[in-house]
Homo-oligomer: A and B are copies of this chain.
Amino acid sequence: MTTRTGPGPRERLLEAAGELTYTQGVGVGVDALLKAANVARRSLYEHFGGKDGLIAEVLRRTTAEDEEDYRRTMRAAGEDPRARLLAVFDRLAEIVGRPDFRGCRYLAADLALADPGHPAHAVTRDYRERVRGLFEDELVRLGHRRPEHAAGQLLLLVDGVLAAGATRPGTGPAASARELAGYVLDAGN
């Protein structure tokens, strides 16, 4: 039987890295991560093979959380596909409006990691495709004539909200996007 002594080094590292890579960017130093997690240097390389592996794993974890957040948001909005899709932008308004909002983690990672072979890119790409699929499913249920096209437009609006939320805080981009999302849904009738 294994003794329960709180989260192990692997968990602590993921937790601290999730925090620090968000506030400081993926350029944070390994030393800072180790210190924040109170973990030995060696543990990082044992568990993740290196900094890149840790970053990729952090993103894998947060994408799963964020995808679940989308699902939860839509579930809470009821059965109507239209209401469920618009609810996403209300949720974005909350997120972008938080005082500690520092931009989209995935967009920042993709722009910061110049190497196209970095494992993080595959993680973010898959995530975006899953969210796109989420939107498309609702659009199909809504009876939209071009669900694939419209899903791409909604995703573009989400990207715009997250970008504008970071670079032009206080301009209420989520509400603007919600209005445009309404046009997208109406256009499919």
Contacts and interface: CB of A to CB of B under 8 A. Distances in A.
Contacts of A128: 167-168
A40 interface: no
A162 interface: yes
A54 interface: no
Interface in A4-50: 23-25, 27
Given A107-B167, A112-B27, A167-B124, A156 B177 contact: yes
A65 B107 CA distance: 25
A128 B173 CA distance: 14
A110 B160 contact: no
B25 A111 contact: yes
A153 B179 contact: yes
B168 A164 contact: no
Query: Chain A at the B interface: mostly helix, strand, loop or mixed?
Result: helix
Interface centre among A157, A160, A166, A168 (most CB of B within 10 A): A160
A32 to B, nearest CB: 12
Interface in A99-152: 103, 106-108, 110-112, 114, 124-125, 128, 149, 152
A52 interface: no
A111 to B, nearest CB: 4
A176 interface: yes
Contact of A167 (B103, B106, B183): B106
A62 interface: no
A6 to B, nearest CB: 30
B153 A180 contact: yes
Contacts of A171: 152
A156 B167 contact: no
A164 B155 CA distance: 8
CB-based closest 4 A-B pairs: A160-B160, A183-B183, A159-B163, A108-B111
